[in-house]
Amino acid sequence: MDTAEYQHFAWLARSFGRTDYLPLTPADLEALADAGSYVDKYPGTHLFKEGEESNAAFVIQRGEVELYRSRSSGRRVVGRVRPGAVIGDIAMFQGQPYVSGARAITRVRAFRLERSRLLPLLIEHPVIAMRWLVAGLSQLEATQQRVIRLMHRTVREQVAEVLLDETDDYGEVHLSQSSLADLLGASRQSVNEALASFKSSGAIETGYRVIQVKDPAILEKVAGRAVSVPT
């Protein structure tokens, strides 16, 4: 096995549930790798569109993907996913069309797992099936926890929560103000007012489709989280 192949297998092993939970054998990894192939997407292009036949699931290796639903008033953002996320699998397993569109925000590389090849693999490799189940339940739990945290909160508190969740390693949130409003199901005016208050307090700086988090402690206080103490 060459270095590139080893790195590919190691990445796949990390992408499905906890790495300490039911280790994947070399045979499991080879079978999983054979069930799909890599796809590369430029910003603005789709991994799949709402209503299309769900014939594959995708594991995001790098880049960011926006999930959205189409409405008469335009596109409504319902989420953003980053490396390690698995998308399209629920519709694929149900044999139903994709319920949302998945559009690349940055350059994206994903591993596309074909339904016709993946389903027999899961039957033949129960460890992969269990790891997939654990990974899916973990994502579902994270989504539920986020919904619970946002319930019965003011728009300002919700904005603070989402900014903290979406901040990348560079302290940036790559969401436009309209996308942020769509994500929260709030009016753009109320979101803009919340952002303006955070900007005036020195918590953030705003730019075109990017928000720079300058003082996360202010956002943590508004969101009701334990304030982190710099070491």
CATH of the domain at 194: 1.10.10.10
- Flag whether 231 is in a domain: no
Whether 76 and 163 share a structural domain: no
Whether 59 and 121 share a structural domain: yes
Q: What pLDDT is stored for residue 6 in this prediction? A: 53
Q: What pLDDT is stored for residue 77 in this prediction? A: 78
Cα 83 to the center of its chain, rounded Å: 7
Integer Cα distance of 185 and 78 in angstroms? 9
Whether 28 and 105 share a structural domain: yes
Whether 104 and 160 share a structural domain: no
Q: What pLDDT is stored for residue 50 in this prediction? A: 94
Q: Which of 104, 124, 148 is the last residue of a domain?
A: 148
Number of domains in the chain: 2
Whether 85 and 23 share a structural domain: yes
Measured in Å, how far apart are the chain's first and last C-alpha atoms?
A: 42
Integer Cα distance of 201 and 218 in angstroms? 8
Q: Which domain holds residue 54?
A: 3-148
Q: What pLDDT is stored for residue 1 in this prediction? A: 47
Q: pLDDT by residue for the chain (231 residues), tens digit each?
A: 456 655 666 666 666 655 556 677 888 888 888 888 999 999 999 999 999 999 999 999 999 999 988 877 667 777 888 888 889 998 999 999 999 999 999 999 999 999 999 999 999 988 888 888 877 777 777 777 766 766 778 999 989 988 998 888 889 887 778 878 877 878 889 999 999 999 999 999 998 778 999 999 999 999 887 665 555
- Flag whether 139 is in a domain: yes
Whether 22 and 74 share a structural domain: yes
Q: Which residues contact 211 (CB under 8 A, 6 or more apart)?
A: 163, 172, 173, 175, 195, 204, 205
Residue 22 zone, left/alpha/beta (φ > 0; ψ -120 to 50; rest) = left
Q: Which of 121, 148, 175 is the last residue of a domain?
A: 148
DSSP conformation class of 27: H
Number of other residues whose CB lies within 10 A of the CB of residue 163: 23
Q: Nearest-CA neighbor of 105 among 82, 71, 74, 89? A: 82
Answer yes or no: are the C-beta atoms of 52 and 108 closer than 8 Å: no
Whether 29 and 89 share a structural domain: yes
Integer Cα distance of 182 and 100 in angstroms? 14
Answer yes or no: are the C-beta atoms of 92 and 102 closer than 8 Å: no
Whether 138 and 219 share a structural domain: no
Integer Cα distance of 172 and 141 in angstroms? 25
Answer yes or no: are the C-beta atoms of 182 and 77 closer than 8 Å: yes
Q: What pLDDT is stored for residue 230 in this prediction? A: 55
Whether 207 and 115 share a structural domain: no
Whether 97 and 143 share a structural domain: yes
Instruction: State the CATH number of the domain containing residue 50.
Output: 2.60.120.10
